[in-house]
Chain A
Amino acid sequence: MNALELNGIKKTFGSTDVLHGIDLTVEDGEFVIFVGPSGCGKSTLLRIIAGLEDASSGTVKIAGQPVNTTPPAKRGIAMVFQSYALYPHLTVKGNMSLAMKQEGAAKSEIEDRVGVASKMLGLDPLLERRPAELSGGQRQRVAIGRAVVRKPKLFLFDEPLSNLDAALRVNTRLEIARLHRELSATMVYVTHDQVEAMTLADKIVVMNAGRIEQIGSPMDLYNRPANMFVAGFIGSPQMNFLDAAALGETSAKTIGVRPEHVSVSPTSGDLSCDVVHIEQLGADTNLYLRNEKVGLLTARLFGEHYFAPDSRVFVSFDRTKQHRFDAEGKAIV
């Protein structure tokens, strides 16, 4: 059975259309990530799934049941927020048990479930503390624990890592991945960070301006982007888009080449370029180059390399890995 089904979800605020008809199915146990630039409607869509916002039209089904008119608490969902949203007046334990208390669960059952969740997330020593006495990472773990306790049919994450620093972000990401394996729960996750999307998702939904651009596994999107938006959004540094005419190609309007599929040689190659800037990261090196005909392009080389800025180099492209796009930006297969 599908854990979540969206049919023709539309949302308008006043006269602005935020979502233009979203159709999506999420299977049981799947980890689905909505990714897209700010303002693309991904958070609004998540809030519609949660029931915090009403869809202007369309239906939301959770575990086969239409829930359009069901209040958030009765939808069998749990949500983790970017700002943690812990109840400041309750202890960690109180925070984790509140939802079950509201449902009227037995005390012993609440104890059990809180115990299991706190063990899973290493929260045992923090149970009697209040949110103000916790660090950011601990707060987010409590927020995740609060969701786990409810045993929801659907976990919703709204940019849960955005408020954490880089090291904590990696740790918490691993924690969420482990949680997904252990609970084999269905998770819907919203982020603007493509690294999170690529590392966590079974299925990525790329959104732009209220529409779904492409749905697929991380490697699908990387290897077979459906259009220039997806091609540019997935992968870092961004894919190079080169004018096909300048390269002497006639079968397409634009040629897309990922920086990692560009090879650079000081002596010979397809295009001669000037080095504009070089970024050495140790494990890899990013080269920013300029060619008179095709303009700026980026090359990503593995390992340590050095080319002096303003020196001349030659680049060649891996023909088997280049992407071709038509005048409308759609991929030509």
Chain B
Amino acid sequence: MSTARSSLTRTIASHAILIAYTLLALFPVFVIVVNAFKARRDIFNDPLALPNPESFSLVGFETVTSQGNFLLYFQNSLIVTIASLFCVLLFGAMAAFALSEYRFKFNPLMGLYLALGIMIPIRLGTVAILQMMVATGLVNTHTALILVYTAQGLPLAIFILSEFMRTVSDDLKNAGRIDGLSEYKIFFTLVLPLVRPAMATVAVFTMIPIWNDLWFPLILAPAESTKTVTLGAQVFIGQFVTNWNAVLAALTLAIIPVLVLYLIFSRQLIRGITSGAVK
């Protein structure tokens, strides 16, 4: 009886903490979404109020759709995010497979070298990266961003995936070798499906910073044709006047695609985070 009650209080306490944290984390998002649907005056009068028939206004969305090239910006963001995500997952998984599967000289050193990027922020190299991009003529292209984001995402991807790949049964891979599967086929058909939860985890952790990044689009691809959504939203923030309706509407729209991608991965993600912790 006493254990049942104590576990109940513990459940309530842990849920209270989690709910509080959820509210805290969602509050800024809530403010953005709510105010995106209000007229300018109402945003400043009472920022926390829900839109009502009087304050409701879609002027922000109208500005966004009519003024900026937002469809293009969205497209740019999606291209860059998805292409980078694809490269990070593919190359990350391949490198992780090599590190966990094959014995070769300098294997541990190589693993350490590839994981080093987790500790060193890639932005420290911005100047050098910009010089390289200028030299290769990649400034204002999607390729520039995709390359940088792939480099940025790889260390964590390799680190997480190689740990997971070590848990895949050796017997299974060997059975594949005896049955005549190539190393590529073993990798793609036997190993990858078994580390899918880890892949989803890596996908989410990689995707969100890329989608939200303002730094590299601003420096490497500020041209109209390659602008990303976060950069595009900046046109409404002026030195003297800021079109808050438009900024908030743009940000609200920017949440949608990343939310969709997250929902796709989230089922797998939960399995990935809890596997090992929960048998």
Chain B, range 158-212, C-beta contacts under 8 Å to A: 169, 171-172, 174-181, 189-190, 193-194
Name the residue among A87, A88, A103 with the largest chain B CB count within 10 angstroms.
A87
Q: Identify B178's interface contact among A77, A83, A84, A86, CB under 8 A.
A: A77
Q: How large is the interface on A (under 10, 10 to 19, 20 to 34, 35 or more residues)?
A: 20 to 34
Asked if residues A85 and B180 are in contact (CB atoms below 8 Å), the reply is no
Min CB distance, B65 to chain A, in Å?
A: 45
Q: Which residue of A lies closest to B174 (CB)?
A: A52
Among B171, B174, B175, B177, the most chain A Cβ lie within 10 Å of the Cβ of B175
Measured CA separation A50–B169 after assembly (Å): 17
Residues of A within 8 A of B180 (CB): 73-74, 99, 102-103
Residue among B174, B179, B194 making CB contact with A88, cutoff 8 Å: B194
Q: How far is the CA of A51 from the CA of B175 in the complex (A)?
A: 12
B178 touches A99 (CB 8 A): yes
- Partner of B171 from the list A74, A85, A89 (CB cut-off 8 Å) is A85
A82 within 8 A of B: yes
The one of B169, B178, B189 in contact with A89, judged by C-beta atoms closer than 8 angstroms, is B189
Pick the contact of A79: B169, B175, B193 (CB < 8 A).
Answer: B175
Q: Is the interface of B mostly helix, strand, loop or mixed?
A: helix
- Residues of B contacting A99 in the complex (Cβ-Cβ under 8 angstroms): 178-180
What mask results when residues 111 to 142 of chain B are scored 1 for a CB within 8 Å of chain A, else 0? 00000000000000000000000000000000
B189 touches A81 (CB 8 A): no
A99 to B177, CA, bound (A): 10
Closest residue of chain B to A47 (Cβ to Cβ) is B174
In-complex Cβ contact of B169 among A72, A73, A85 (8 A) = A85
Within 8 A of A (CB), among B58-104: none
Bound: A77/B169 CA distance, A: 20
B177 touches A81 (CB 8 A): no
Of B172, B179, B194, the contact of A102 (CB 8 Å cutoff): B179
What separation, in Å, do the CA atoms of A158 and B174 have in the docked complex?
A: 12
CA–CA, A103 and B178, complex, Å: 11
Contact with B along A84-99 (1 / 0, CB 8 A): 1111110000000011
Known A98-B179, A99-B179: A81·B174 in contact at CB below 8 Å: yes
Any B CB within 8 A of the CB of A60: no
Scan A144-185; emit 1 where CB is below 8 A from any B CB, else 0: 001000000000001000000000000000000000000000
Interface centre among B174, B176, B179 (most CB of A within 10 A): B179
A-B contact sample (10 more), CB < 8 A, given A81-B171, A87-B190: A52-B174, A52-B178, A83-B171, A83-B172, A85-B171, A85-B172, A87-B189, A88-B193, A98-B179, A146-B179
The 7 closest A-B pairs by CB, nearest first: A73-B180, A102-B180, A85-B171, A99-B179, A81-B171, A85-B175, A85-B172
Query: Which residues of B line the A interface, CB within 8 A?
Result: 169, 171-172, 174-181, 189-190, 193-194
Q: Enumerate 20 A-B pairs (CB-CB under 8 Å) in ascending A order.
A: A47-B174, A50-B178, A52-B177, A52-B178, A71-B177, A72-B178, A73-B180, A81-B171, A81-B175, A83-B169, A83-B171, A83-B172, A85-B169, A87-B172, A88-B193, A98-B181, A99-B178, A99-B179, A99-B180, A102-B181
